[in-house]
Amino acid sequence: QAAPAGGNPTASGAPAFVGALGGAANLRSVDACTTRLRLELQDPVQIDESALRALGARGLIRVGERGLQVVLGPQAEQVAGDIRTALAAAPGDVREGLVAALGGEGNVVRLDQHGARWRAEVADMGPVDVAKLDQAAVRGWTQLSPRVLHVLG
């Protein structure tokens, strides 16, 4: 699946990579080795291969069900760090996805972020969309009581 390099991978910035990888909610983990991004994705179908190649990806390697390696060259570590920084700085996108998964603003009693974890209290579990919650939760979620959930980002 190799392709010629597109642009400079660090020139377009982390937001473009996050978008090409399916958005913040699709990234379960972001690591790198010397030349590759090593990613675990929520849904690998959501990636935009042509956008990744335009950003400088020289190749894509699928690893297992959710793994993806993006061959970038020696700047992979820098790009991974930039992506992690962008993810930490964009809690609004995560919050928006969580609110939708939790049944909308009308069902969310309280939603607080504590580092990479979110604590959610809902009025009713009925409107909570578990499939959307699975997508919004980067590392998983658990129900602590009938109306309280913790989501790991």
Most distant pair of Cα atoms in the chain: their distance: 52
Question: What average pLDDT does the segment 59-64 reach?
Answer: 96
Residue range 39-49, pLDDT digits in tens? 999 899 989 99
Q: Is 135 helix (H, G, I), strand (E, B) or coil?
A: helix
Residue range 79-109, pLDDT digits in tens? 999 988 877 765 666 788 889 999 999 999 9
Q: Is 33 a catalytic residue?
A: yes
Q: How far apart are CA 26 and CA 42, in angstroms?
A: 5
Which residue ranges form the domains of the chain, and what is each CATH number?
14-88 (3.30.1360.60), 91-152 (3.30.1360.60)
Q: Determine which one of 33, 89, 123, 130 is catalytic.
A: 33
Question: Does pTM top 0.85 for this prediction?
Answer: no
Count CB atoms within 10 A of the CB of residue 44.
Answer: 19
